[in-house]
Structure 1
Amino acid sequence: MTQAQEHLVVIGNGMAGCRAVEEVIARDPARYRVTIFGAEPHVNYNRIMLSPVLAGEKTFDDIVINDLSWYAGHGIELIAGDPVAAIDRDARTVTARSGRAVAYDRLLIATGSDPFIIPVPGSDLPGVVSFRDMADVDRMLAAAEAGRAAGGGHAVVIGGGLLGLEAAHGLSLRGMKVTVIHLMPTLMERQLDEAAGWLLKSALEARGQTILTEAHTAAILGDGRVEGVALKDGTVIPASLVVMAVGIRPSVALARAAGLEVGRGIQVDDHMVTSDPAILAVGECVEHDGNVYGLVAPLWDMCRALADGLTGRHSGYRGSVTSTKLKVAGLDVFSAGDFSGGDGAEDIVLRDAARGIYKRVVVKQDRVVGAVLYGDTADGGWYFDLLREGADVSAIRDMLIFGQAFAAGGGAADPKAAVAALSDTAEICGCNGVSKGQVVACITRGAHSLDAVRSGCKASASCGSCSGLVETILALTLGDEVEAGPKTMCKCTSFGHDDVRREIVAQGMRSIPEVMHELHWSTPDGCSSCRPALNYYLLCALPGTYKDDQQSRFVNERMHANIQKDGTYSVVPRMWGGITSPRELRAIADVVEKYDAPMVKVTGGQRLDIFGIRKEDLPAVWADLNAAGMVSGHAYGKSLRTVKTCVGSEWCRFGTQDSTGLGVKVERMTWGSWMPHKFKIAVSGCPRNCAEATIKDFGIVCVDSGYELHVGGNGGIKVRATDFLCRVATEAEAMHHCAAFIQLYREEARYLERTAPWIERIGVDYIRARIADDAGGRDALAARFHLSQSVSQDDPWAARAGGAAREQHAPMAVFTPKPEVRPMEVGA
């Protein structure tokens, strides 16, 4: 700090306040000494990412924008959990709720907005919440947990705008039965036209939500706590939680009490200066030129203009032309401009009902004046550029609705040409307000990888949906100089997965805390991304020595069952090779009836999946199935899932070998083994391949001369056929090669990397060299696999349920040569 420094005090530790400080520091880091007051007891986080936290897709740590090290590194004093209660403009001081007074030279108000609570009877009852901050999310999560404990909870969300639909989506995923009440006939009527709104409503209803449009709330019912919502037509909807998401208002009470000029918001000029020259304001709390904005893109523009003014530059804020690109409950929507139609306006519409895609571009006098996209929003930025620039589209009108790649390629889709044609002002990352020009500037300053761009300018650092665009800009800017090196495990470390695995073995590390200490983790306890990976790497490296850390596993693996959208679980007992018996079928039927499971389904892996099991019933379900001799199918795990078989030579006239018997042996050999990701095996009895062995992680196709072995298949979103590994003559050899391949995958793939992308990354020739061509290496890998199985092949259901007889679960005899068993060597 120097004597020349002025004291900048910021009221508001949210996205606007901290972004403004970032912009000031970027222009003149020594200009101001900064103090930030925050009403919440947290560091700065991405408020628009609260929805994934509610849905369970992210944790709070995942959405932090500026951690404590950022404040400390820039000499910023953070006063969190102590909101400012008063401003004394004459004395130039602010006083917090605690009574603490701080003097300022310049004051920045970034108080955001307040949720609007409709004034109906009962709106003040416990159980009525808004959706604006982490405290609201915590209250909703507590309500969802209480609902599950009571056998089910009902939530009513009042408001069918973005926040309301996101709240409904998250609560639905948390197991609550959700009803959305919306006053208008169309959901998100400010962003979507009637057709897109109808598609959105239909999609949400298909996910189990009840959507009531043109519904008027009359009262919130309850005696001491919320019990239901009454509509004006007399309908009563039961509810243990009511979420008010009907709109927001600029938070202006503090400014008004200080005597600043306030209209709809705190009134500011082009440099975000209020009626007091020493006080500025930015974000949702301000009114500029009669406009109030509730989107993030104008917020970023305001922060840039404010920072220019505070550091002696002359550019100002001229207002924002806004677009809205959102992911609502996982569904993509976009809108910009005027899509209401009108004199001289023409609609160009594309509807693809089968794919759930709707596009409408409104053109007037050969200019785009509005656009609505649903299901496919990739061209939203391009349409917005055309709209904002008033570009003449007459030359590309015939191709306009098919998107920029098609138009830029002259009728043939060319995604790179489309991105190259974007203007420098085109928005790439809506979450962080980053334009194409800013991404290019970041790259030219030395950011030659996606992670480096994320660190440098924050593009794709939040929701990640723009990662593909950023990668294309990298390719266009750098060509062959793009660094495609391994990504770091997470933001807790600068090490990649391969580096961590190598260091665990090289340094003989024995626990997660030891790894984090020795490799200088930035967070003492890690995060939800690195802890499961470290747990797996240690489990793989130290079979029989390392104690599995259950708290570092995903919820499905902790519960040994798959959590479903309603908060119940599905249970899948193992059926060896897809074969079952009357005893097993009776046991499953008894469980279904005893625990009132609503559905039993045959899976693609030839098993039976029992749906709708309550969390509290899981131990008893495990005990009942164990008593019938059944073990976990590991349908929830990063482990062996299934071994699919056909009936083979025992029954089929085309079968060449006993594929069913071999499948059972392979499954008994490999079950219970933890892996980087899920792993599936199939054995087909002849080249007709009825068991689909050539789209499995490891496939065996029986032929007259023996067994053809295949690796790296995937039948999911991106179908990949297997690569041929080799041909062997006997069952024992097929099983031996399978064990060796699994162990190579276990030791060298990165956590959460399926065999298909792993093989595409390292090449199938490497796999053949290690498995098919190197007999000694193959023997060593297989021996390490069997060693791991001998010390860790336990039935988690038996352990949790109190134990059951295991004699019939023991692994079958396998072909096992006797080389010296060496410690795992990563990358050997």
Structure 2
Amino acid sequence: MMEKLVVIGAGMASGRMLEHLTEAGAPYQITLFNAEPRGNYNRIMLSPVLSGEKTYEEIVTHDDAWYAKRGITTRFGEHVVGIDRARKVVVGQRGEVAYDRLVIATGSAPFMIPVAGRDLPGVVAYRDLDDTNTMIAAARPGAEAVVIGGGLLGLEAAAGLQMRGMKVTVIHLMGHLMERQLDASAGHLLQKTLEARGITVHCKGATKAILGEKRAEAVLLEDGTVYGADLVVMAVGIRPETRLANDAGIEVERGITVDDRMLTSDPAIFALGECVEHRGQLFGLVAPLYDQAKVLAATLMGADAAFQPVQTATKLKVTGCDLFSAGDFAEGPGREDIVFRDPGRGLYKRLVLEGDRLVGAVMYGDTADGNWFFGLIKDRTDISEMRETLIFGPAFQGGATVDPMAAVAALPPDAEICGCNGVCKGRIMEAVAGGADTLDKIRATTKASNSCGTCTGLVQQVMALTLGEAPAEAPAGMCGCTDLSHEDVRRLIKSRGLKSMPAVMQECGWTTPDGCAKCRPALNYYLLSDWPLDYRDDRQARFVNERNHANIQKDGSYSVVPRMWGGVTTPAELRAIADAAEKYDVPMVKVTGGQRIDLLGVRKEDLPAIWADLNAAGMVSGHAYSKGLRTVKTCVGKEFCRFGTQDSTGLGVRLEKLMWGSWTPHKVKLGVSGCPRNCAEATCKDIGVVCVDSGFQISVAGAAGMEVRETELLATVATEDEAVELIAAFTQAYRENARYLDRAYKWVAKVGLDWVKAQVVDDLENRRALSDRFDLSQSVYRKDPWAEHAKPGARDEFAPLADMQLEAAE
């Protein structure tokens, strides 16, 4: 008969232990309690949930199906009332469960400073998903939030709330932020970066009281300063959650006391995670908790294992600022510093030496060499021969650069590669040796690179080192300048608040300082899409056609296509086109498949003048060269056609006037047909509308080029206003989520039409938010490039435009 194992707490530490046990086929009947109404999720990723960059579903580690498949009985949303050690019973709110062995993994509880007003509504801690959801519900654009505590959690809470539009103030008791991880200089740089992003920071601030009657309204400091607060977040620290152990008479000091096997003072009860104390030490970082999980799983399986905590490094990602600290960086007798500062780029490195040993390291802005420095600290390496170049990292030892793989090879097996999931180099190498020869397999078996994605390049290097060649799949990097994929870069631009190409290249570790012709257009688009109010389009990062605002032809001449709204023109416009064709000796005037007139063979030097004439006639660029809206093709609809059911021409004109000038991952074409006879060919467009008696059938993801695809029905709506909102929302979702140069049909195939419907059809609030963001972006970028070019004082973008790229294109 199988023994009964009861686990109290479904956090990351116990979750990893259960993974080890079930993978090994442990002979236990397992019951898992959790006070939260859910199972294991990645708490490290709560910050992206708070900021809106991820959903709870995306950070779930073990869902209901995972527990069911492994035969684990779950009692979620149920508090444990007590432990009866004499009867070997756990007492839950809904009944008792007997155990042969018990694991306490109750984690930690947030510390709430004992000031007046701390119990008012609107005062929350930041520890779990419920806290996160409370903050999300309270976050309103323009409202005020005060975060008490300038440590990691406090700063991540501040960043997330600011990304939701709140005005945020951070109050920190100490002289600089994150004093446990950073020295004063690095803390000062971090504060400057946060303040530049609009977050107010008040250091040396002692909270006296939280003011308010029915709910929190302000925070009063000891020096008399008052900050208005619609929301107060306390993030001042955590304490081991030991109440159950205390009540049961189990030995507790600061935490639940455990030995090397994770055994408590009771021979049938074990503990692990943030609730334990081992040899006088508490643990909060994920790496040692995962080590505890491995040891406890082995112990429960009857194997000999011992938990021996090793020195850990802290690599933190706070609101787009890379931070790393390891060892002891305090000043003291016999110690000396090597310091590198580059304020212009926001870089700071400080190494603390004691004799010929490196004992501490602090880095801000560039942490790529952190693991190497950490290895020197941990191994007590004699650094006397490399002292002069030590600050520059492993690539510069010996006076010259070396193969980057040599630095990876030099990392010890226990070097942490993935900080989010606590995965070391040795674990990845073991997985590769066991057959995990692709990045997806590594993610599945070790969880490395499965969360924030910043370690992807390093994981691939470890794999290549073990395999003796590159991993089986093609590199995920968006170009040769980085190992990060398009998706990783896009995620980091949003999560770190990166608003310029130099910032992206620096923060994400570009190997080529200025990027290349492959990554610069993509980065320019991602920054345009994500920060329309903050980022200025870099025309020099665009492809030659977009830089010259015209399509280059094989003979070096250009094609000029004025915009005709919905394919509708006037005699005046036609006269202007005819006059321009004669004046500039245009060799061919052609009607396009998109219901426009194309002037082919225009000389490069004539482009500014011909567009000046067309602009004077009221015509703007048709953007036939752009990664953006090309045309909206229409039929005449019910106004003239006896089969027409709606005003398809009017809707097409309205859509084109809304969407023209929009930058998208690839070109976008629309069609609006007045009836199911589909004369506008709406069912092979990126977005198509077929008018019917009851309203408008909106379909997406079609194509009629190198690949021919019929659209898929997105939704049927009753009114024109609904159709416009839905199309704007779909376009914005495409803009915000698709990889650069992916047509809409490729993007929909990747994410699935069901996901798209959930975002823009089913969720009305999200649909409106997407539509509003589209309108906001369009208010910035809906401009005719030639009219802008002609403004007095405008930078002459055209004269020297892209001669090298032009030659390459030719």
**Separation in structure 2 between the aligned mates of residue 802 and residue 433 of structure 1, nearest angstrom:** 42
* CA root-mean-square deviation: 4.3
**Separation in structure 2 between the aligned mates of residue 25 and residue 785 of structure 1, nearest angstrom:** 45
Q: Does residue 1:412 correspond to 2:401, yes or no?
A: yes
Q: 1:106 to 1:801 in 2, by over 3 A?
A: closer
Match of residue 83, structure 2, among 68, 84, 87: 87
Alignment correspondent of 1:107: 102
Q: 1:740 to 1:464 in 2, by over 3 A?
A: closer
Match of residue 183, structure 1, among 166, 173, 177: 173
**Separation in structure 1 between the aligned mates of residue 329 and residue 600 of structure 2, nearest angstrom:** 61
Alignment check: 8 A CA contact 2:550 2:624 kept:
no
SS at match of 1:29: coil
**Separation in structure 2 between the aligned mates of residue 740 and residue 235 of structure 1, nearest angstrom:** 52
Matches within 5 A, 1:52-63: 52-63=48-59
Alignment correspondent of 1:277: 267
Q: Which amino acid letter does the alignment assign opposite residue 471 of structure 1?
A: Q
Alignment correspondent of 1:399: 389
Alignment correspondent of 1:31: 27
Alignment correspondent of 1:72: 68
Alignment check: 8 A CA contact 1:645 1:663 kept:
no
Q: 1:657 to 1:192 in 2, by over 3 A?
A: same
Matches within 5 A, 1:63-462: 63-98=59-94, 100-144=95-139, 147-148=140-141, 152-407=142-397, 411-462=400-451
Aligned-residue offset at 1:740: 14
Alignment check: 8 A CA contact 2:162 2:199 kept:
yes
**Separation in structure 2 between the aligned mates of residue 786 and residue 740 of structure 1, nearest angstrom:** 19
**Separation in structure 1 between the aligned mates of residue 707 and residue 411 of structure 2, nearest angstrom:** 56
Aligned-residue offset at 1:371: 0.5
**Separation in structure 2 between the aligned mates of residue 734 and residue 118 of structure 1, nearest angstrom:** 59
**Separation in structure 2 between the aligned mates of residue 23 and residue 180 of structure 1, nearest angstrom:** 40
Between the aligned residues of both structures, percent identity stands at 51
Per-residue Cα deviation, 1:432-470 (whole angstroms, up to 9, x for no partner): 221111101101111111111000111111221111111
Alignment check: 8 A CA contact 2:558 2:602 kept:
no
Alignment check: 8 A CA contact 2:251 2:264 kept:
yes
Q: Which amino acid letter does the alignment assign opposite residue 154 of structure 1?
A: E
Per-residue Cα deviation, 1:712-766 (whole angstroms, up to 9, x for no partner): xxxxxxxxxxxxxxxxxxxx999699999999xxxxxxxx99579xxxxxxxxxx
Alignment check: 8 A CA contact 1:739 1:781 kept:
no
Q: Which amino acid letter does the alignment assign opposite residue 65 of structure 1?
A: T
Aligned-residue offset at 1:331: 1.0
**Separation in structure 2 between the aligned mates of residue 287 and residue 46 of structure 1, nearest angstrom:** 23
**Separation in structure 2 between the aligned mates of residue 648 and residue 445 of structure 1, nearest angstrom:** 52
Aligned-residue offset at 1:783: 11
Alignment correspondent of 1:664: 562
Per-residue Cα deviation, 1:294-334 (whole angstroms, up to 9, x for no partner): 21121112112212222222231123312111101121101
Q: Which amino acid letter does the alignment assign opposite residue 17 of structure 2?
A: A
Alignment correspondent of 1:713: none
Q: Which amino acid letter does the alignment assign opposite residue 455 of structure 1?
A: A
**Separation in structure 1 between the aligned mates of residue 567 and residue 44 of structure 2, nearest angstrom:** 48
**Separation in structure 2 between the aligned mates of residue 433 and residue 738 of structure 1, nearest angstrom:** 41
TM-score normalised over the length of structure 1: 0.62
Per-residue Cα deviation, 1:557-594 (whole angstroms, up to 9, x for no partner): xxxxx9989xxx96xxxxxxxxxxxxxxxxxxxxxxxx
Matches within 5 A, 1:666-705: none
Q: 1:344 to 1:658 in 2, by over 3 A?
A: same
Alignment check: 8 A CA contact 1:643 1:663 kept:
no
Aligned-residue offset at 1:25: 2.9
Q: Which amino acid letter does the alignment assign opposite residue 311 of structure 2?
A: V
Alignment correspondent of 2:807: none
Q: 1:201 to 1:787 in 2, by over 3 A?
A: closer
Aligned-residue offset at 1:785: 10
TM-score normalised over the length of structure 2: 0.63
Alignment correspondent of 2:466: 477
Aligned-residue offset at 1:106: 0.5
Q: 1:35 to 1:486 in 2, by over 3 A?
A: farther
**Separation in structure 2 between the aligned mates of residue 380 and residue 101 of structure 1, nearest angstrom:** 49
**Separation in structure 2 between the aligned mates of residue 396 and residue 74 of structure 1, nearest angstrom:** 52
Alignment check: 8 A CA contact 1:261 1:267 kept:
yes
Alignment correspondent of 1:781: 705
Alignment correspondent of 1:22: 19
Aligned-residue offset at 1:406: 2.8
Aligned residues: 565
Aligned-residue offset at 1:706: 8.2
Q: Unaligned regions of 5+ residues in structure 1, if any?
A: 488-496, 498-561, 571-598, 607-639, 650-655, 671-685, 687-699, 709-731, 744-751, 757-778, 804-825
Q: 1:705 to 1:178 in 2, by over 3 A?
A: closer
**Separation in structure 1 between the aligned mates of residue 529 and residue 215 of structure 2, nearest angstrom:** 29
Q: 1:117 to 1:666 in 2, by over 3 A?
A: same
Matches within 5 A, 1:711-730: none
Q: 1:787 to 1:47 in 2, by over 3 A?
A: closer
**Separation in structure 2 between the aligned mates of residue 241 and residue 20 of structure 1, nearest angstrom:** 37
Q: Which amino acid letter does the alignment assign opposite residue 106 of structure 2?
A: T
Alignment check: 8 A CA contact 1:740 1:781 kept:
no
Match of residue 40, structure 2, among 44, 48, 53: 44
Alignment check: 8 A CA contact 2:26 2:301 kept:
no
Q: 1:444 to 1:82 in 2, by over 3 A?
A: same
Q: Unaligned regions of 5+ residues in structure 2, if any?
A: 477-485, 487-527, 569-583, 585-597, 607-620, 633-662, 668-702, 728-748, 750-810
SS at match of 1:325: strand
**Separation in structure 1 between the aligned mates of residue 627 and residue 194 of structure 2, nearest angstrom:** 44
